[in-house]
Structure 1
Amino acid sequence: MSGGAVYSHGHHESVLRSHSWRTAENSAGYLLKYLQPDMHILDIGCGPGTITADFARLVPQGNVVGVEYGTNDVLDKARKHAAEQGITNIDFQNGDICNLEDIPDDTYDVVHCHQVIQHIGDPVKALKEMKRVAKPGGLVAAREADAKAFAWFPESETMDEWMDVYQKVAYANGGEPNAGRRMVSWALAAGFQQKDINATTGTWCYSTPEERAWWSDMWADRTVNSTFSSNAIEKGLATREKLERISQHWREWGTKEDGWFALLHGEIVCRA
């Protein structure tokens, strides 16, 4: 990933399992009221394209381009998903949020990213580039998690250890795991005026048996199998034994009848 950072999670199946769950409704709901049927949208960091495809359905007289950095396998999954849905006003291509050199100035009505800027070494540069390719009066929209604001029950030392490793891996890779609270600050630094920034928050919550099972199994797998795991071990931030213990604890947490996990996200819609 450009901008002096490394994507901490990689594209292991357990990571794409999480990305594929995302929809425009559960991950970009703050933006939907702004969309018009004839808009042209750029979706940066599109991953397997589930949010991107939803956008395309919402702009039937417009079109959507999904961009992902250096991973053709994931783009192939996105193309397959769109084809299976019968969506034709959509395209996918490689691209770098900090250097969208193939896109002219003032091209898109909406430039969107979800859970991308937290992994970028220079978030302000990324937002400046998003602003450049947005039409005058167009929208730049971003939603980023804020890991320090995650909350869970039951509480435990092992879950605290997981969060500690999560933070350390993200910082070691040049990212900012607590990006949500910084979105307005970064937007101002990127040249947006305060009056043109609408800041909101959004949450995900996992509480039902099905939600807990899905979330806990996904994180149990990510903790020991994804790039997050290899980064933690290679950088001396956790041992394999520690990660396996955390992984097992995730599975145990998922069985708790009173288990509850909530994630806070910072959201911005900026007028270019």
Structure 2
Amino acid sequence: MTRPADENYLHGHHASVLAAHGARTAENSAAHLLPHLSSGTTLLDVGFGPGSITAGLARIVAPGQVVGIEAAPDALAAAQALMEERGVDNVALRTGSVYELPFEDGSFDVVHCHQVLQYLTDPPAALREMARVARRVVAVREVDYAVMHWHPANPGMSDWLECYRRIARDNGGEPDAARHLRAWSNAAGLPALGEVSVDATTWTYASPEVTRWWGDVQSARILESEQNAKLRALGLDDDRIAAMAADWRAWGEHPDAYFSMVHGELLLLKE
């Protein structure tokens, strides 16, 4: 069955979104995969976004070749610029769909995706396709929005989280993806292919510079990115949206600010 390459990615690719995603690195976002990489490893990165994780993975596996697949041309352009800026020359980027990867079975030692399955209408189908083109390893990392937590509490951030989860589900996705990884793996038939493990790690923001950055980024995304249109489509007015953004900024400036989010991590080690 043919499916669209981009299933209405709800964040869009505004500069504020790419800036937030660009803070991700191989070390802070793919640590569960790193022990399985070495010089010469070939790797497919699915849904690479601005390319910051991809660039880090490419540095580790060089001179091994890395291919990136991304549904959005805007993200591809940003990632290509990053590769050129960093002098990464062992990465080839292209557009395509995770449901129909244009590669033969077992084309790559490793297939990786970060924050992709949560936006899809059929995550098990995507996992099966990634496993098909992987020789040794499939690595996935997904967030769980429902257990995001922060201090101090404020109404705007709580309102944002509730609305975001509604929008994500209206989009056909699953914002609490981390808790579904084992179920999706089973539905995809991955245990028949090798050893499957599921674990969890967190991102935590708890220093003045980082909380200020995170509050500002989230505020900008609410006001300026595709998320703004999604909130309006949900029925929110200007005042309610502005209150969300203001509370994110106020939280980021607070001396006690703390924010943490849980990520599920799935590894398939093929037999």
> Is TM-score (shorter-chain normalized) higher than 0.5?
yes
> Partner of 2:266: helix, strand, or coil?
strand
CA contact (8 A) 1:142 1:269 kept: yes
What stretches of structure 1 of length at least 5 have no aligned partner? none
> What is the 5 A alignment of 1:11-160?
11-69=13-71, 71-100=72-101, 102-135=102-135, 138-160=136-158
Task: Write out per-residue CA displacement over residues 74-112 of structure 1, whole angstroms, 9 at most, x where no aligned residue.
Answer: 212211211221221111000111121x21111011110
Other-structure match for 1:178: 176
Post-superposition Cα deviations, 1:199-242, rounded to whole Å, max 9, x if no partner, equal 11111111111001110000001112111110121243x22321
| Matched residue type, 1:84 | E
Cα deviation for residue 147 of structure 1 reads 0.4
Q: Tell me the alpha carbon deviations over residues 41-89 of structure 1, each in whole angstroms, 9 at most, x when there is no partner.
A: 00011111111111111011311011110x2232122112112212211
Per-residue CA deviations over 1:7-27 (Å, capped at 9, x if unaligned) read 110001110011111100011
Is the 1:3–1:120 Cα contact (8 Å) retained in structure 2? no
Q: What SS does the corresponding residue of 2:28 show, helix, strand or coil? A: helix
Provide the aligned length of Structure 1 versus Structure 2.
267
The residue identity in structure 2 corresponding to 1:242 is: R
Which residue number in structure 1 is paired with residue 208 of structure 2? 209
Question: What is the CA–CA distance in structure 2 between the aligned matches of 1:84 and 1:3, rounded to whole Å?
Answer: 27
Structure 1 stretch displaced more, 118-127 or 187-196: 187-196
Pairwise CA distance, 1:4: 8.5
Aligned to 1:33, what secondary structure does the other structure show?
helix
* 1:175-209 deviations in Å (ceiling 9; x for gaps): 10000011111011111118611211111111111
Question: Does residue 225 of structure 1 match 2:224?
Answer: yes
Percent identity of the aligned residues?
39
* Closer/same/farther in 2, CA of residues 166 and 26 from structure 1, 3 Å limit: same
Runs of 4+ in 1 over 4 A off after TM superposition: none
Distance 1:73 1:3, change over 3 A: closer
- In the TM superposition, what is the alpha-carbon distance from 1:255 to its structure 2 partner? 1.0
Q: For residues 124 and 41 of structure 2, what CA distance do their matches in structure 1 show?
A: 25
Q: TM-score, normalised by structure 2?
A: 0.94
Unaligned stretches of 5+ residues in structure 2: none
Residue pair 1:67, 1:92 contacting (<8 A) in 2 also? yes
**Preserved contact between residue 6 and residue 175 of structure 1 (Cα < 8 Å):** no
